[in-house]
A and B are shown apart, each in its own frame.
Chain A
Amino acid sequence: MKSNMMSIHMCDDDLDDQLLVSDALLEAKLGNPIDFTNNGLELLQYLRREGEFSHLQGEPLPGLILLDLNMPIMDGREVLNELKRDPVFKAIPVVILTTSKAEEDIAKTYNMGVNSFIIKPVSFDSLVETIKSMTNYWFHIVSLPDNLK
């Protein structure tokens, strides 16, 4: 089953958070491949397989995007607007990573078309648990359109 395991993409400018999530994935024994971009603009290029990502042409799109809100160049809110306007990308589930409940509340008021928010947990163990439940939810329970499988 591993060969067609869906990949996860994380868009976050904090390299420490990238390390945390990839280590937590390993710890959760999920084995889903994960890759990263550092801001919204890079994420768009990555999904469109443009620029430095042109070598990914033809590779399947990620099955899940973890999106940070506060990033330089193009923040999470802006890129999400772009994604939701795109006929293909809008089908990819997006989970917004926030640092606090307050940030989540603010984000919700923008009506960004997602309802999955996750507050970045403080401890590594709770991050592992979060990742476990999150990936289980998206990869097993929700059925995705065929072009993403």
Chain B
Amino acid sequence: MTINYNRMEVLIVEDDEDDYILLKELLEEAFGVVGKIDWAEDFSSARLLIKQSDYQMYFIDNRLGAELGLDLILSIKQKYEIAPPIIMLSGVDDRRTDIKAMNYGADDYLIKSQLSPLLLERTVRYILNHKIFEEKLNRLAHYDALTGLYNRSIFNELMSAAIEESKRTEKAFALVTIDLDDFKYVNDNYGHPAGDLLLTKVARRLKHSVRSADIVARLGGDEFSLLIKNVENNFNLVKIIETIMRVFDTPIQVRGKELTVSISAGIAIYPHDAIDSRELIEHSDRAMYQAKDKGKNTYSFYNQDLHQQAKNRHSLELKLTAAIQQNSLILHYQPILTLASQKIICFEALLRFRDEQGEFYNTEELISIAEQSPLINDLGLWVFDAACAQLMKWQQGQQYSGKIAINVSPKQFKTSAFTEHVLSVVKQYPQLCHKLIFELTERDLLDDQSTTIERLQRLVDVGCEFSLDDFGTGHSSLTYLRTLPLTIIKIDKSIVQKLLDDPRELALCKAIITMAQALDIDVVAEGIESQQIAKLLESLDCPQVQGYSFARPKPADQLEFIFSQPPETST
């Protein structure tokens, strides 16, 4: 066996400098060039070096003033699955200390007066040989030799640990049971070595398809199991599972042949689907067989109903992503008018997206899906660009010179990208200055207030306005009114529509209008669907209105007539 010592880094713990120098010289004589030899002259500096650095060998004198070198062994052992060689040194041959050192986990116990280069070289060589053997045993006990993944026995331990962790952190995790589809066919037609090679490649793909904290194991045959940690919601889990399924889209090369591989996966979630690991495995297995029954190359959740919803959302997210890329989204525009003169002062741009059958999706649901991923940023930019383009078209045609209101999600202010984009567009097209209103909903608004407010303020500085949408449905926080640079609040339709029937809503509406006037903030009443309510609002001095009673949201090409006619005043 040839061992290269020229990279080896050694720590010597020794309170006597002469003894340290002696040992250093012996080591150099025994091993030739050694990578590095560090010296710790007392217990506490040794502790620090052990903690901060990695050595490939430790020599520890047992007598360190008032402390014992023996007590350092544990700190080294804790750091490693298999610790590097630890050799205890002593001035006297004391059998009790010798036995103690062995029990603590030292690899040898040497008497200083007996040290020689030959003894050191031989001792170290034997220890290293044992370490290699120990490491092999450790691997065999924990890992599957074919794929290098965890094996069944350690996987069960890791799952028990995950259950304990989940109890403590109250975070769910998923057990995913995976079985290759038609693996038998590969073995039968190409032979077992080809089958084995396929399994090692499948294992790599699985391992690289999940986060590093997740656990991937091969339980035997063509059966794999995954633990997906910290599952926040089913929606994210579906995304992870979809990623795993997709890594098998490309065929796997086995001995020059391209084999198409697919998997069936079953998913059960702790603690929702099971009370212990036995039940979790059972339920995940059952889900996997459901996936096989469904025709393979698919996945199935133990709790179907719960996850159908998550799957639908995922497919909608994909469609929405494609729609942004293909520019197949559309905007409808609904006027906001002054109540007294019935003059259009603003158009609110509203996102619309049709499915294959031409039906509109629920916009709120689209937004809430987009908000759970970076998609909201692309969507926000698309809406902004499309609305600005429309406004400039109207301006050019001299059809309309008022403002445009664009809905934004608080998430778009989490980074500076949206703000920077708006700033550069306004700089490039000065005709947009003082024409842009951004509508923020007060639901889940702004956690990181100071940076957000700073971003809003930068937009205000170039002539943009902010309006607080759906006022009265969320916290209706007065803090927002005070701290955000708002110029408009929109009273939610749920209040407006009950004005005639509920005196409390009426009182609330009155109070909001009065408060807004005092703060010099404009008020828009939303969702006006009857003339009676319009009249009532007029009596309350509500300055601006929006609703079906005045005009419905329409695509831009159907709005042209509005510009040449007075607004609708029916019903």
* 0/1 string, A23-36, CB within 8 A of B gives 1: 11001000000000
How far does the alpha carbon of A145 sit from the alpha carbon of B7 in the complex, in Å?
20
A23-B148, A122-B193 known; A16+B255 contact, CB < 8 A: no
| Residue of A with least CB distance to B35 | A1
Query: Chain A contacts of B203 at CB under 8 A?
Result: 124
* Least Cβ–Cβ distance between B449 and chain A, in angstroms: 42
Contacting B at CB under 8 A, from A50-103, are 70, 99-100
Contacting A at CB under 8 A, from B155-176, are none
| Residue of A with least CB distance to B194 | A122
Tell me whether B205 is interfacial, beta carbon within 8 Å: yes
For chain B, the bracket of interface size reads: 20 to 34
Please state if A1 and B7 are interface contacts (CB–CB under 8 Å). yes
* Least Cβ–Cβ distance between B505 and chain A, in angstroms: 63
Query: Chain B contacts of A100 at CB under 8 A?
Result: 255
Tell me whether B457 is interfacial, beta carbon within 8 Å: no
* Least Cβ–Cβ distance between B536 and chain A, in angstroms: 68
Please state if A19 and B208 are interface contacts (CB–CB under 8 Å). yes
Query: Chain A contacts of B252 at CB under 8 A?
Result: 16
Query: Chain A contacts of B250 at CB under 8 A?
Result: 15
Please state if B4 and A19 are interface contacts (CB–CB under 8 Å). no
Query: Chain B contacts of A23 at CB under 8 A?
Result: 148, 204, 207
Please state if A124 and B193 are interface contacts (CB–CB under 8 Å). no
Query: Chain A contacts of B143 at CB under 8 A?
Result: 125
B253 partner, pick from A16, A24, A124, A136, beta carbons under 8 A: A16
* Least Cβ–Cβ distance between B173 and chain A, in angstroms: 24
A20 partner, pick from B35, B201, B255, beta carbons under 8 A: B201
Main secondary structure of the interface of A (DSSP, over half): helix
B147 partner, pick from A14, A70, A124, A136, beta carbons under 8 A: A124
* Least Cβ–Cβ distance between A30 and chain B, in angstroms: 11
Q: How many A residues have CB within 8 A of the partner chain?
A: 20
Tell me whether B108 is interfacial, beta carbon within 8 Å: no
Tell me whether B139 is interfacial, beta carbon within 8 Å: yes
Tell me whether A11 is interfacial, beta carbon within 8 Å: no
* Least Cβ–Cβ distance between B147 and chain A, in angstroms: 5
Please state if A123 and B146 are interface contacts (CB–CB under 8 Å). yes
Query: Chain B contacts of A27 at CB under 8 A?
Result: 148
How far does the alpha carbon of A125 sit from the alpha carbon of B146 in the complex, in Å?
6
* Least Cβ–Cβ distance between B150 and chain A, in angstroms: 12
| Residue of B with least CB distance to A100 | B255
How far does the alpha carbon of A16 sit from the alpha carbon of B253 in the complex, in Å?
8
Please state if B256 and A20 are interface contacts (CB–CB under 8 Å). no
Query: Chain B contacts of A14 at CB under 8 A?
Result: 253
How far does the alpha carbon of A14 sit from the alpha carbon of B35 in the complex, in Å?
38
13 example contacts (A-B, Cβ-Cβ < 8 A) are as follows A1-B7, A16-B201, A16-B253, A20-B200, A23-B207, A99-B256, A122-B196, A122-B200, A123-B200, A124-B146, A124-B200, A125-B145, A125-B146
Q: Chain A residues in contact with chain B, CB under 8 A?
A: 1, 14-17, 19-20, 23-24, 27, 70, 99-100, 122-125, 128, 136, 140
